Amino acid sequence: MSILVTGGAGYIGSHTCVELLKEGYDIIVLDNLSNSKPASLDRIKEITGRDFSFYQVDLLDRDGVRTIFRENEIEAVIHFAGLKAVGESVSIPLHYYHNNITGTLVLCDVMEEFGVYNMVFSSSATVYGTQEQVPLTENLPLQATNPYGRTKLMIEEILRDLYISNSKWSIALLRYFNPIGAHSSGLIGEDPNGIPNNLVPYITQVAVGKLPELKVFGNDYSTKDGTGVRDYIHVVDLSIGHLKALDKVLTETGVHAYNLGTGCGYSVMEMIKAFEEVTGKEIRYQVTNRRPGDIGISYADPAKAKEELNWVAGKGLLEMCKDSWRWQSLNPNGYEEESRLGLEIGVR
């Protein structure tokens, strides 16, 4: 029996594939490669010394998804696939609703057809929207403030309805905070298309000289220095959280939501200073307007994941920054072939 990983060539998906293979799972990767590179799959094999099947299929392609289930014995699905940029979702909301929600509907429909009822779903802390209190707990009212977040919230509700309709379903809703870092080998990491939407790859691309300066979106939030505060979690810690959630869905039914974060919040300016310490370089930046849909402060209360999944984030901020910088300095052009040459840039 295998674990199907949708979006497994992407940033979080590729790191989770590594952890699954290390733990002895057989995996199948589904990815349409719209925001990921096939080279990441080769790097996963290089790190783990293990092979696996890959299907370049879009979740909107029902026949393609059915083929995967027909050709393989699948025990559970870890569902990462989906569009994920907050700002872009505000500009093209219908595209986000169609891709993320319809793709999930197709996946769930095919899972039921083939009698597969175990899922770990990649949700997001954006489902909390703007809250009066922090840290954020799983029992807060949900109120996403942008189309991307609303797709995650709607999918959570769809999955709850699915369990009500059929109690065979076992689903973990993992609400991520802000994943950063990379595998310690420097072989896999975050490789966004075009200008990064997330802070850390933006910082590292400035540090490596690929981009001239960082844009800081707003310095007028009600925070310690006016810039947005987020809970940054190492992508490997996040990946291990998926394995812990997988253990749970394979042994009991129901729908359960979990925050995956460290419980600590850092501002944009604090992140810039941390990367300057790690890289020994000045991170040039320019303050600009807030992005539509962004919020000021967001960090987790991860107590439920500790209690029910036996999961705790173990890596600190400087380790996250060092691993992000190792990936970027060894792969200045991401997964492009020539990037394997690397650069002589130290990690402090």
CA atoms within 13 A on the CB side of 94: 0
Confidence at residue 194, expressed as pLDDT on a 0 to 100 scale = 84
**Lookup: tokens for 71:** 């050709």
Confidence at residue 345, expressed as pLDDT on a 0 to 100 scale = 38
| Torsion over CA: 321, 6, 161, 241 (sign) | negative
Question: Reduced to 3 states, what is the DSSP secondary structure of residue 290?
Answer: coil
| Catalytic residue (one of 11, 96, 128, 148) | 148
Do you find a cis peptide bond into 93, omega within 30 degrees of 0?
Answer: no
Using an 8 Å Cβ cutoff, are 76 and 249 in contact? yes
Using an 8 Å Cβ cutoff, are 267 and 222 in contact? no
User: Would you give the end-to-end CA distance of the chain in angstroms?
Assistant: 43
Place 197 in a pLDDT band, splitting at 50, 70 and 90: confident
Using an 8 Å Cβ cutoff, are 58 and 35 in contact? no
Using an 8 Å Cβ cutoff, are 68 and 93 in contact? no
Q: Is residue 338 pLDDT above 60, yes or no? A: no
Provide, rounded to the nearest whole percent, the portion of the chain with pLDDT above 90.
Answer: 91
C-alpha dihedral over 25, 29, 35, 40, to 10 degrees? 60
What average pLDDT score do residues 221-233 get?
96
Tell me: the pLDDT tens digits for 149-168? Answer: 999 999 999 999 999 999 99
More confident residue, 197 or 249: 249
CA distance readout (Å), 340 to 36, 181, 259, 316:
17, 18, 35, 27
DSSP class of 335: T
Using an 8 Å Cβ cutoff, are 267 and 231 in contact? no
Residue 22 CB coordination number (10 Å): 15
Confidence at residue 337, expressed as pLDDT on a 0 to 100 scale = 55
Tell me: the pLDDT tens digits for 7-17? Answer: 999 999 999 99
Confidence at residue 295, expressed as pLDDT on a 0 to 100 scale = 84
Q: Is residue 293 pLDDT above 80, yes or no? A: no
Closest-CA residue to 3 (of 23, 24, 22, 25) = 25
Tell me: the pLDDT tens digits for 82-96? Answer: 999 988 999 999 999
Confidence at residue 291, expressed as pLDDT on a 0 to 100 scale = 84
Q: Is residue 343 pLDDT above 90, yes or no? A: no
Which residues are bridge partners to 136 per DSSP?
300
Question: Reduced to 3 states, what is the DSSP secondary structure of residue 346?
Answer: coil
148 is known as an active-site residue: yes
What average pLDDT score do residues 242-250 get?
98
Place 347 in a pLDDT band, splitting at 50, 70 and 90: very low
Tell me: the pLDDT tens digits for 27-52? Answer: 999 999 999 999 999 999 999 999 99
